[in-house]
């Protein structure tokens, strides 16, 4: 089955700097890659996703890139703010067939 | 629109006791899931139901059973709770399986002593 590896497990950045979180997946048939943000004590919530026919997608300060050949995708957060502090999860799945498989998460701390 | 609702929010069990976590969604989604979240382990799939009438094991099904009662409801049962089942449990749903956005409930904090 699918296996998703996520790095780093913790990340600290200064406010205003950029943060990058990377994930690799094992199943070349996977074609849906969402990112979830989980604030302390809250539920995970989708922040951005990308499908295999797209190489990059942006939404304001957040962007995701996908390299299908290398089987990795990344989350980029620019101009980080204290409210970006949270745990971020990447995930992968085969559309319409299998449930999402999540990475182990990255705890991002933005230091003011 | 409540989304995904799960109960109870907090529960303390003694080893060997049984309990059922309830989950309901009002988004007319076909697929529903139960995940558990442990520190450093991410979100691991326990069981899922791709559509009403079907259930399948996920990554960590041992010690659990599920019932897809109807399209709206998907329950998770611990028959004989063990301390290793201390965790946060999330129910989730999606429209047509893994290739679509899944929406999580607020979570159930379970402690087994």
Spans of chain B, pLDDT less than 70: 1, 97-99
Beta bridge partners of A13: A110
Q: Can you point out the beta strands (E) in A26-105?
A: 32-38, 45-51, 56-59, 62-67, 72-77, 86-92, 101-102
Q: What was the pLDDT predicted at B98?
A: 55
Q: What is the pLDDT of residues B59-80, one digit of tens each?
A: 999 999 999 999 999 999 999 9
pLDDT category at A19 given cuts 50, 70, 90 is: very high
Contact list in A for residue B97 (CB cut-off 8 A) is 93, 95-99
Q: What was the pLDDT predicted at A97?
A: 64
Q: Does A32 touch chain B (CB under 8 A)?
A: yes
Residue A91 near residue A2 (C-beta atoms within 8 A): no
Beta bridge partners of A11: A108
Q: What is the pLDDT of residues A39-96, one digit of tens each?
A: 999 999 999 999 877 799 999 999 999 999 999 999 999 999 999 999 999 999 886 6
Q: What was the pLDDT predicted at B101?
A: 85
Contact A96 B31 (CB under 8 A): no
Residue whose entry in the numeric block shows the structure tokens 């199943």? A27
- Residue B61: exposure state from Cβ atoms within 10 A (0-12, 13-18, ≥19): middle
Strands A32-38, A45-51: pairing is antiparallel
The beta-carbon neighbor of A99 closest among B42, B58, B101 is B58
Q: Smallest CA–CA separation between B47 and chain A, in Å?
A: 10
Q: What was the pLDDT predicted at B99?
A: 65
Residue B71 near residue B96 (C-beta atoms within 8 A): no
Contact list in A for residue B48 (CB cut-off 8 A) is 99
Q: What was the pLDDT predicted at A96?
A: 64
Q: What was the pLDDT predicted at B1?
A: 63
């Amino acid at each position: 089955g699918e296996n998703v590896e996520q790095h780093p497990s913790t990340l600290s950045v200064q406010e205003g700097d950029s943060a990058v979180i990377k994930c690799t997946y094992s199943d070349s048939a996977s074609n849906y890659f969402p990112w979830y943000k989980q604030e302390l004590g809250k539920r995970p919530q989708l922040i951005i996703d990308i499908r295999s026919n797209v190489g990059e997608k942006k939404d304001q300060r957040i962007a995701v890139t996908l390299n299908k050949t290398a089987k990795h995708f990344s989350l980029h957060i620019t101009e980080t703010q204290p409210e970006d502090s949270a745990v971020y999860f990447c995930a992968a799945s085969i559309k319409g067939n299998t449930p999402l498989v999540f990475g182990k998460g990255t705890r991002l701390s933005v230091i003011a | 629109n409540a989304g995904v609702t799960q109960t109870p929010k907090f529960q303390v069990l003694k080893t060997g006791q049984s309990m059922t976590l309830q989950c309901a969604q009002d988004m007319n989604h076909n697929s529903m899931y139960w995940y558990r979240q442990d520190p450093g382990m991410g979100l691991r799939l326990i069981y899922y139901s791709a559509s009403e009438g079907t259930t399948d094991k996920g990554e960590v099904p041992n010690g659990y059973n599920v019932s897809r009662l109807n399209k709206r409801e998907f329950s998770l049962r611990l028959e004989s709770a063990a301390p290793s089942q201390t965790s946060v449990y999330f129910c989730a749903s999606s429209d047509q399986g893994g290739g679509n956005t899944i929406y999580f409930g607020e979570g159930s904090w379970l402690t087994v002593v």
